[in-house]
Structure 1
Amino acid sequence: MLYNPAFLVLSRNRSRRVRLHKWLLLGCLLGVAQVQGHGINNPEMFDSVLHYQTAETTLPHHLQVQPASSIRFLNSQDANHVIYDVWGGSPDSSIIGMLLPRNLSPVSEGGWGLSLQHLDTGYVDARRWKNIDAKQLLKTLQKNSQAEVLNWALPPTFNPQTGVLMFATEVKLPGAQDTAIFPKVLLLGREGLLLMKGIIEKKHWEGMKATLQDLAFSVTFQDGYRYTDVQAGDRLYDYGMTALITETPVQDPERKTSSAPLLFPWIAVLLGLGLMGTLMGKRVRSASLTVRPD
């Protein structure tokens, strides 16, 4: 298995990821009861202590937030305040902010938010995107998920011009009357990606789904660090698009070249010319993209 910092982080902090799943499930199961348990039953009062931002904001990792007309932004401190007081979770220093609707408080009926986390994955080569099988991906999710994954609420879609990958799964939670939707929006960049994720009850999903495009366009990488700014020699993600969706380290078949024998003399010539990194799948081979938006 090739070295990949993103999956090493996941494996080293598996217990933290389990805790994250637990508070997401807890927030969905307890809903308003959990909020009232914290003494929060007045959206206006709760919102008064938050510092919502609608103007352009610069974040670490060369990220720029420009909230769409339906979206507002919370910084890391306020985002963790929502996670703790509303969703019953533990603060997470890796969360750099949160996107929320302007017309709903996190403590209102149907309120929601997507947390923002940056992953230092390197550049994700999406030239095999056309071969992605949504049905097979769903089976993988159903096999590996801690919760009961029922179906796609939104099948995976990817736009190579913006670097936006988005999808959502419908999940059955123990003891819950309604199923829950787990939406994810991934903004791919030249050096890494931004993961946006949250949870919402299915009965409120359509309202949130209508704003997903606004969410996707509310955060961008700065010029020079966007998905289409990739240059030959940039660090390449060791796994394919499947791994991003299933969160399992599935090797991209296109780069299973690290163990290939030297069958022909011209390969040895290429290695002699300093192209070993390219053949080993560690660097971007070409800045050109051959896929098209679905």
Structure 2
Amino acid sequence: MKQLSILVLAILCSFGHVFAQNNTTELQDSSGVLAFKYQTGTIALEKGNGKIAVPKGFKFLDAEQAKYVLTDLWGNPPQSDIVGMLVPENQEVTDINGWAFAISYDDIGFVKDSDAKDINYDDMMKDEKKAQVDENKARIQQGYLPIEIVGWASKPFYDENTHTLHWAREMKFGEDSVNTLNYNMRVLGRKGVYVINAIAFMSEFNQVKPVVNEVISSVTFNQGETYKDFDGSMDKVAAYTVGGLVAGKVLAKAGLFALLAKFGKFILIGLVALGGFIMKIFKRKKENEAVVVEEVPVDDTENKNV
């Protein structure tokens, strides 16, 4: 494994080709550090007929780059509905202790909010914990670690004036020593919702929580597509209410291969270069827990998920 570590780092240092179309993102020739094209200001989103006014203290990655980060670097399953990512301005997505917000659009239709005041979220949490036991069986078959829902990190809150919703769960992947923060935000519109998910750990909760209101208010629908523009005679009504959004399957479209995460981002980036060769080696590691990695710092803070 020592030789493997050296090999990965060597490839990182020599990597220097463009991996995204239109030259929006490229690898630096000299340092091997991934360099992304960030944006600020007001930006039109690719889906949902909306826009984002990048909040102070953040920078924005477009859909193409965000998908690369989430899928190729952080190991999440591919997601076609991603429209971008918000990253703290003093961080990079390749920072080992970094965190971010992933933004996507779900065209589920108009979400009725008539039940928002009547939901017992304590009972909902009890039901979710039970349901996750069955969900874990499927996750394990698909190669993902089981998830334990520890509880609410922040109870669900719906703002009936702005038609926005947010809540947070504390979660544990497999036997990881660091718990994951599953912070969800929704911006409701006429034909669907913008989904904003914090990709962070519980240790970063105190950084994420204070900016939630600012982040959720930065994503808006264009005139004619807002929640108040709903036309019952022609628009589709979603199968979910506000309560249904919160109770939806936990991480149904996301989940990191924690096996890879335990080796830190440098290994993850190396995997992009080496492809199936190292993947097979790590797969054998999963079957034989006695493997020890040397010379590359092991970091447990890479279990990032959307």
In the superposition, the TM-score normalised over structure 2's length comes to 0.63
Counterpart check, 1:107 vs 2:107: no
Aligned to 2:69: 82
Which has a greater percent of strand? 2
Aligned to 1:133: 120
Deviation at 1:38, TM superposition (A): 8.6
The letter for the 2-side match of 1:246 is A
Counterpart check, 1:238 vs 2:239: yes
Q: What number of residue pairs does the alignment pair up?
A: 212
The letter for the 2-side match of 1:237 is A
Cα gap change, 1:188/1:50 in structure 2, threshold over 3 Å: closer, same or farther? same
Matches within 5 A, 1:1-294: 39=12, 49-59=35-45, 60-145=47-132, 146=136, 147-233=147-233, 234-247=235-248
Deviation digits for residues 28-83 of structure 1, max 9, x if unmatched? xxxxxxx989949xxx9687621111121112221111111122211111102212
Cα gap change, 1:70/1:37 in structure 2, threshold over 3 Å: closer, same or farther? farther
Cα gap change, 1:46/1:82 in structure 2, threshold over 3 Å: closer, same or farther? farther
The 2-side partners of 1:139 and 1:65 are apart by 35
Deviation digits for residues 111-163 of structure 1, max 9, x if unmatched? 11222221111111101211011101211221223311011111100112212
Aligned to 2:256: none
The 2-side partners of 1:89 and 1:125 are apart by 30
Contact 2:81–2:106 (Cα < 8 Å) also in 1? no
The letter for the 1-side match of 2:36 is L
**2:125 aligned counterpart, secondary structure:** helix
The letter for the 1-side match of 2:248 is E
Q: % of aligned pairs identical?
A: 26
Q: Which structure is higher in RCO with an 8 Å CA cutoff and minimum separation 6?
A: 2
The 2-side partners of 1:100 and 1:123 are apart by 29
The letter for the 2-side match of 1:219 is V
The 1-side partners of 2:245 and 2:124 are apart by 11
The 1-side partners of 2:248 and 2:49 are apart by 24
**2:112 aligned counterpart, secondary structure:** coil
Contact 1:38–1:85 (Cα < 8 Å) also in 2? no
The 2-side partners of 1:158 and 1:110 are apart by 30
The letter for the 2-side match of 1:114 is F
Higher deviation after alignment, 79-88 or 218-227 = 79-88
The 2-side partners of 1:48 and 1:149 are apart by 33
The 2-side partners of 1:111 and 1:36 are apart by 20
In the superposition, the TM-score normalised over structure 1's length comes to 0.65
The 2-side partners of 1:207 and 1:245 are apart by 22
**1:130 aligned counterpart, secondary structure:** coil
Cα gap change, 1:117/1:46 in structure 2, threshold over 3 Å: closer, same or farther? farther
